């Protein structure tokens, strides 16, 4: 994962020194932000040369003043200060592994340069290159620009001060010669090179904006002739932006150790972005530019978003594994009688409602099911689930059935009607919000679409009235922690109801305790007395105990969903389900 990549800045400083020991020419590619850095870190190609397979990649990043400034919409004139450069540097370093060389511009005055050295080294940078121009410099590539060079003795002093500031020997300071850029010629460049090397520079970068490499090759040839003690372990570097036909191999043969591709990531992306804009304008849609765009998933993957998704899933599964699902399925109603089995076992295109429910629940990581059987209970043959039994299902209804599973109510659980089919995303949302303790201990999933079809419904619905109702301006699940149930039941007037309860509820451990305490408190008292909408507690619905809980002052919350579920109550529902759930 990129943003969690573990790395030690201190070790990373040495990464360049370690690579240089290999003795081959190193290639550095410009990066101007984190994503360009990730690309430079990743890209590898496989080439076969002289029958041998080789992997090629960049050795590290060039954090360029030109492209860092341009990315911020600024000219390359040292407007972007050290702190801002550090911000970019840190972003690039964050998820990458390779060494970084930073373009330090002129370094400023010696005190400013000391600060730069200290901060860059601490950020894990391996090398800073400073150019021998007067602060504030102008970019070197534009013809006709004022190019004022620093007094070489003053510049040498800056190098000396920098070397005294660094903590690790492996952190390197390279001097960049701008004599050829300023039109002062080879002789000036060679004289300056000597002075800077004597002051302790770890190497020399010779810069040129000519179309051919003759000048820098000539410089390299003269550099080799310097006294051995002056150039021992010193590096030679160049930036072939304008003289770009020369190859790395030729540069290596001329004595160069480091080649820098100084601005190509920015320039390439600039062109690609322009193309995308033009194509979209031309076509009035984005289809045509798709082949030139990286897939969203690839970018998600590279910046660690898919890992985050995986971890979210793992966490949800860890949490879900503790949650049981209690499904009372004992009842003998009209439809059950017709099919001579619990409604849960009625098949829709060859698969029972219960099988469909369990498949959807397993898909979201729930694996612990408790089914309360009753009517023709021997027909429940599903494996890897727990069964309880309500033997008195003729006289004891759904609430009593639920309490046949009371031994399974010591941990959080989901209560589920046995005759509903639902989109698994509803359960996913329920699990997600149930992890948020502030949502409350008891949550009922409610349908907010009921208002649209309430006049066409001829069956009894479990209706809900809430307080603190929030305005539904969007269609999908939105949940308001403030919206609490105040009334629930079948006898509520449709016109005053806010929602329909869909038969799915979540109880936290504490919610389960509230449910049990309430039930055991009323079960004897209402054995032969009306209990809310029911003749007595044994014939009570789930909604009756919820109303009792609310009346006792406990909060019951709602999770709003918009459609995505159906109840199977009669033959018409079955027919409709058969057209929706076509898979066997």
Residue 185, Cα to own-chain centre: how many angstroms? Answer: 53
By the rule CB under 5 A, 462 interacts with Mg ion: no
Site for ligand SPV in 477-506 (CB under 6 A): none
Binds 86, which of Mg ion, ligand SPV, none (CB < 5 to 8 A, cut-off by type)?
Answer: none
Query: Please, what is the minimum distance in Å from the beta carbon of residue 141 to ligand SPV?
Result: 5
Q: What does the H/E/C string look like for 11-40?
A: HHHCHHHHHHCCCCCEEEEECCCHHHHHHH
CA gap 307, 315 in Å, rounded: 12
By the rule CB under 6 A, 508 interacts with ligand SPV: no
Query: Please, what is the minimum distance in Å from the beta carbon of residue 483 to ligand SPV?
Result: 57
By the rule CB under 6 A, 139 interacts with ligand SPV: yes
Which one of 36, 64, 96, 147 is in contact with ligand SPV (CB under 6 A)? Answer: 64
By the rule CB under 6 A, 66 interacts with ligand SPV: yes
Count CB atoms within 10 A of the CB of residue 332.
16
CA gap 10, 266 in Å, rounded: 29
By the rule CB under 6 A, 263 interacts with ligand SPV: yes
Helices (H), 284-341: 296-302, 305-320, 334-339
By the rule CB under 5 A, 65 interacts with Mg ion: yes
Q: Are 539 and 333 in contact (CB under 8 A)?
A: no
What pairs with residue 204 in β-bridges?
175, 236
104 DSSP assignment: -
Q: Which residue is nearest to Mg ion (CB)?
A: 65
Query: Please, what is the minimum distance in Å from the beta carbon of residue 31 to ligand SPV?
Result: 11
By the rule CB under 6 A, 36 interacts with ligand SPV: no
Query: Please, what is the minimum distance in Å from the beta carbon of residue 57 to ligand SPV?
Result: 21
Q: Are 206 and 220 in contact (CB under 8 A)?
A: yes
By the rule CB under 6 A, 239 interacts with ligand SPV: yes
Which one of 1, 77, 122, 141 is in contact with ligand SPV (CB under 6 A)? Answer: 141
Binds 141, which of ligand SPV, Mg ion, none (CB < 5 to 8 A, cut-off by type)?
Answer: ligand SPV
Helix/strand/coil for 103: strand
By the rule CB under 5 A, 103 interacts with Mg ion: yes
By the rule CB under 5 A, 68 interacts with Mg ion: no
Reply yes or no on whether 76 is catalytic: yes
CA gap 141, 304 in Å, rounded: 37
Judged on CB neighbours under 10 Å (0-12, 13-18, 19+), 30 is: buried
The single residue of 68, 76, 103, 462 carrying the catalytic annotation is: 76
* Closest by CA position to 115, among listed 176, 161, 68: 161
CA gap 527, 220 in Å, rounded: 102
Q: Which helix (H) or strand (E) is 575 found in, with range?
A: helix 571-580
Q: Are 266 and 30 in contact (CB under 8 A)?
A: yes
Residue 6, Cα to own-chain centre: how many angstroms? Answer: 17
Task: Tell me which stretch binds ligand SPV (CB under 6 A): 32-40, 59-67, 377-385, 406-414.
Answer: 59-67
Binds 262, which of ligand SPV, Mg ion, none (CB < 5 to 8 A, cut-off by type)?
Answer: ligand SPV
Which one of 59, 78, 103, 567 is in contact with ligand SPV (CB under 6 A)? Answer: 103
148 DSSP assignment: P
The residue among 216 and 421 lying less far from Mg ion, judged by its C-beta, is 216
Query: Please, what is the minimum distance in Å from the beta carbon of residue 145 to ligand SPV?
Result: 11
Query: Please, what is the minimum distance in Å from the beta carbon of residue 14 to ligand SPV?
Result: 24
> Which residues of this protein are in contact with ligand SPV, per CB under 6 A?
64-66, 76, 103, 139-141, 239, 241, 262-263
Active site amino acids? 76
> Which residues of this protein are in contact with Mg ion, per CB under 5 A?
65-66, 103
């Amino acid at each position: 994962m990129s943003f969690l990549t573990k790395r030690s800045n201190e070790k990373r400083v040495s990464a360049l020194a370690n690579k240089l020991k290999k003795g081959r020419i190193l290639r550095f590619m410009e990066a101007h932000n984190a994503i360009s850095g990730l690309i430079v870190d990743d890209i590898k190609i496989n080439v076969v040369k002289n029958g041998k397979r080789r992997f090629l990649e960049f050795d590290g990043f060039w954090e360029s003043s030109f492209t860092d400034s341009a990315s911020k919409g600024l000219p390359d004139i040292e407007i972007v200060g050290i702190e801002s450069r550090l911000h970019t540097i840190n972003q690039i370093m964050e998820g990458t592994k390779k060494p970084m060389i930073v373009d330090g511009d002129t370094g400023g005055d010696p005190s400013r340069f000391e600060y730069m050295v200290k901060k860059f080294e601490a950020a894990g940078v391996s090398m800073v290159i400073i150019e021998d121009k007067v602060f504030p410099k102008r970019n070197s590539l534009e013809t006709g620009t004022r190019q004022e060079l620093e007094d070489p003795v003053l510049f040498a002093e800056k190098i000396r001060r920098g070397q005294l500031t660094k903590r690790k020997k492996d952190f390197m300071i390279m001097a960049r010669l701008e004599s050829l850029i300023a039109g002062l010629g080879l002789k000036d460049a060679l004289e300056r090179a000597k002075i800077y090397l004597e002051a302790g520079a770890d190497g020399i970068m010779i810069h040129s904006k000519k179309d051919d490499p003759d000048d820098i090759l000539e410089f390299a040839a003269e550099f080799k002739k310097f006294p051995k003690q002056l150039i021992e372990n010193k590096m030679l570097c160049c930036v072939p932006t304008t003289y770009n036909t020369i190859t790395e191999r030729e540069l290596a043969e001329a004595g160069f150790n480091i080649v820098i591709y100084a601005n190509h990531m920015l320039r390439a992306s600039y062109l690609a972005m322009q193309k995308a804009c033009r194509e979209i304008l031309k076509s009035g849609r984005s289809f045509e530019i798709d082949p030139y765009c990286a897939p969203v998933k690839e970018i998600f993957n590279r910046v660690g978003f898919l890992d985050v998704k995986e971890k979210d899933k793992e966490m949800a599964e860890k949490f879900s594994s503790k949650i049981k699902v209690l499904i009372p399925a004992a009842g003998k109603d009209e439809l059950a009688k017709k099919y001579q089995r619990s409604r849960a076992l009625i098949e829709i295109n060859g698969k029972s409602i219960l099988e469909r429910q369990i498949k959807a629940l397993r898909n979201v990581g729930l694996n612990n099911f408790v089914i309360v059987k009753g009517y023709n209970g021997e027909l429940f043959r599903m494996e890897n689930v727990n069964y309880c039994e309500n033997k008195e299902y003729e006289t004891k209804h759904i609430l009593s059935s639920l309490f046949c599973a009371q031994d399974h109510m010591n941990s959080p659980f989901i209560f589920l009607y046995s005759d509903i089919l639902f989109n698994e995303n509803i359960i996913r949302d329920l699990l997600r919000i149930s992890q948020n303790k502030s949502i409350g201990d008891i949550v009922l999933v409610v349908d907010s679409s009921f208002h649209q079809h309430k006049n066409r419904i001829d069956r009894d619905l479990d209706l809900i009235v809430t307080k603190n109702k929030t305005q539904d301006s969007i269609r999908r699940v939105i949940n308001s922690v403030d919206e609490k149930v105040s009334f629930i039941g079948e006898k509520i007037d449709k016109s005053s109801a806010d929602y329909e309860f869909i038969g799915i509820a979540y109880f936290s451990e504490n919610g389960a305790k509230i449910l049990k305490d309430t039930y055991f408190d009323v079960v004897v008292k209402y054995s032969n007395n009306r209990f809310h909408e029911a003749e007595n507690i044994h014939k009570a619905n789930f909604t009756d105990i919820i109303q009792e809980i609310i009346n006792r002052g406990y909060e019951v919350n709602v999770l709003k969903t918009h459609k995505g579920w159906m109840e199977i109550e009669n033959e018409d529902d079955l027919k409709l389900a058969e057209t929706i759930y076509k898979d066997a």
